[in-house]
Chain A
């Protein structure tokens, strides 16, 4: 069976250290001022008065029903056989329909190619060498879990079976393959 890659971001383990963001930039040679990945922090005050932090991984959520691919007029935006959403720069005319249609603001215009670019799960670099994405490898708290959703024995399916997860903007029907373990201390903000 073909692989179907997905990822989990555990809000309880994440400490907002930015190692993932830095690793992504250096591994994928991301130009200055644009980002495939950022980690945002939101200060929360829980009902009992305690303070806490919510972390948000801002990157492509690798939808199964992909708005960006549906709107692309030239099929430059496409999903590969491993379920990863990619951009074929050669086919791209730069209409930015995909950038606008993405409900997760995952895409930016690459300053050199002028085509939209985004998280690829390190498909073109580390994944092709049999390694995990750079962000997952460097995460000091193992807040990121990566793996094949079609393999029942994969680490990601083990975690998905044991922990409560949700996905962003599920009502849109995009079916993201980026799962979030919500903060156990507070409510779920999807």
Chain B
């Protein structure tokens, strides 16, 4: 269609740009990091101090990544100085409001988890000593806090998917499987980030059995992720009409489809699975390989967020 007169610039369907993709990645990673840290902490032998390096990694990563993501999100608003209005005005029908409320609860509990875990190192002596009662509270109610954190983390991981799937203006977003895909890939990213931080910064306290367990879990999660991605596109094909058209375009057009096939599927999903089966046990469990494997998984998950965000907005049928 020809506009006859005037600029068409405002009709660009790409409304949300890369900072949103990074935020979706960081929020998923934060949820995945705390989920996998709690899963490890609840295993026999890991539930007492000194804490395993992976648990420490999750305790640090969860608040740091969600904090960084939210900061990025706020600066990306067109009216960033008004962001506080999100905190006092609610629309319970909006996924964004539900996300704000989930994060309202999630941020404090992950910080509590962190404070309980690092009480000895940070809050028993020194300038942060005045926070010791808070850390004590975190330790007293540790199980309860972890239970609540687990539920909220699932909420945060899934909400990033609902945020997009709630929009019927974009066929690639408007699919029921997107929240599940984002939750699963977020968990995969969290596991990988925990492994990297645990092995690089808390090597002495990270048990090999926990590394193997998480690495093995990651491979299973990656299988699920691959299956969800398959369901997403097959489901769109079966819908016919514009959904089918959008799916075909998104799978085959331009640099974005290359990003999907090479970055998301090749590097992030197929290579980790392939290496896991191809490599001998000795190599597979070496710290170097686990770190390498975790890095490519992280690149894959970030690529998935970037791909979905842009392909979803560009291919609208």
User: A73 to B93, alpha carbons, bound, how many Å?
Assistant: 8
Contact B89 A73 (CB under 8 A): yes
Known: A74-B86, A108-B10. A99 touches B1 (CB 8 A): no
Residues in chain A near residue B10, CB distance under 8 A: 33-35, 105, 108-109
Pick 28 A–B contacts, CB within 8 A, sort by A. A33-B9, A33-B10, A35-B7, A38-B6, A40-B3, A40-B4, A42-B1, A70-B91, A70-B94, A71-B167, A72-B94, A72-B96, A73-B100, A75-B89, A75-B91, A91-B89, A93-B83, A94-B78, A94-B80, A95-B77, A99-B15, A100-B169, A100-B313, A103-B169, A105-B11, A109-B78, A115-B79, A172-B168
Query: Does chain A have a CB within 8 A of B95?
Result: yes
Which one of A40, A73, A91, A172 lies within 8 Å of B97 (CB-CB)?
A73
Query: Does chain A have a CB within 8 A of B44?
Result: no
Interface size on A, residues (CB 8 A): 41
Q: Within residues 54 to 90 of chain A, which ones have a CB less than 8 A from any CB in chain B?
A: 56, 58, 67, 70-76
Interface size on B, residues (CB 8 A): 36
Query: Does chain B have a CB within 8 A of A102?
Result: yes
A34 nearest CB across to chain B (Å): 6
User: A102 to B79, alpha carbons, bound, how many Å?
Assistant: 20
12 further contact pairs, Cβ within 8 A, besides A16-B4, A100-B15: A33-B7, A39-B4, A43-B2, A67-B167, A70-B91, A70-B93, A71-B96, A73-B97, A75-B90, A91-B85, A93-B83, A97-B94
Minimum-distance CB pairs A-B, first 8? A94-B78, A94-B79, A73-B96, A74-B89, A108-B10, A100-B15, A103-B169, A114-B78
Contact A40 B86 (CB under 8 A): no
Query: Does chain B have a CB within 8 A of A92?
Result: yes
Residues in chain A near residue B85, CB distance under 8 A: 74, 91-93
Query: Does chain B have a CB within 8 A of A122?
Result: no
Contact B2 A41 (CB under 8 A): yes
Listed in ascending order, the chain A residues whose CB lies under 8 Å from chain B are 16, 18, 21, 33-35, 38-43, 56, 58, 67, 70-76, 91-97, 99-103, 105, 108-109, 113-115, 172
Main secondary structure of the interface of B (DSSP, over half): loop
Query: Does chain A have a CB within 8 A of B166?
Result: yes
**Please, which residue of chain B has its CB at the minimum distance from the CB of A43?**
B2
**Please, which residue of chain A has its CB at the minimum distance from the CB of B11?**
A105
Residues in chain A near residue B16, CB distance under 8 A: 96, 100
Query: Does chain A have a CB within 8 A of B5?
Result: yes
User: A38 to B169, alpha carbons, bound, how many Å?
Assistant: 20
B256 nearest CB across to chain A (Å): 18
User: A68 to B170, alpha carbons, bound, how many Å?
Assistant: 13
Contact A42 B79 (CB under 8 A): no
B16 nearest CB across to chain A (Å): 6
Residues in chain B near residue A41, CB distance under 8 A: 1-2, 4
Contact B96 A97 (CB under 8 A): yes
**Please, which residue of chain B has its CB at the minimum distance from the CB of A95?**
B77
Residues in chain A near residue B5, CB distance under 8 A: 18, 21, 38
User: A100 to B96, alpha carbons, bound, how many Å?
Assistant: 13
Contact B94 A35 (CB under 8 A): no
Known: A18-B4, A71-B95. A94 touches B15 (CB 8 A): no
**Please, which residue of chain B has its CB at the minimum distance from the CB of A18?**
B5
Known: A94-B80, A102-B169, A103-B168. A72 touches B91 (CB 8 A): yes
User: A91 to B85, alpha carbons, bound, how many Å?
Assistant: 7
Contact B96 A95 (CB under 8 A): yes
Q: Within residues 39 to 92 of chain B, which ones have a CB less than 8 A from any CB in chain A?
A: 77-80, 82-83, 85-86, 89-91
Residues in chain B near residue A73, CB distance under 8 A: 86, 89-91, 94, 96-97, 100
Contact B94 A96 (CB under 8 A): no
Residues in chain A near residue B125, CB distance under 8 A: none
User: A12 to B36, alpha carbons, bound, how many Å?
Assistant: 63
Residues in chain B near residue A95, CB distance under 8 A: 77, 86, 96
Q: Within residues 140 to 172 of chain B, which ones have a CB less than 8 A from any CB in chain A?
A: 166-170
Quick one: which of B77, B93, B94 has the most chain A CB within 10 A? B94
User: A95 to B95, alpha carbons, bound, how many Å?
Assistant: 13
Residues in chain B near residue A56, CB distance under 8 A: 1
Residues in chain A near residue B7, CB distance under 8 A: 33-35
**Please, which residue of chain A has its CB at the minimum distance from the CB of B82?**
A93
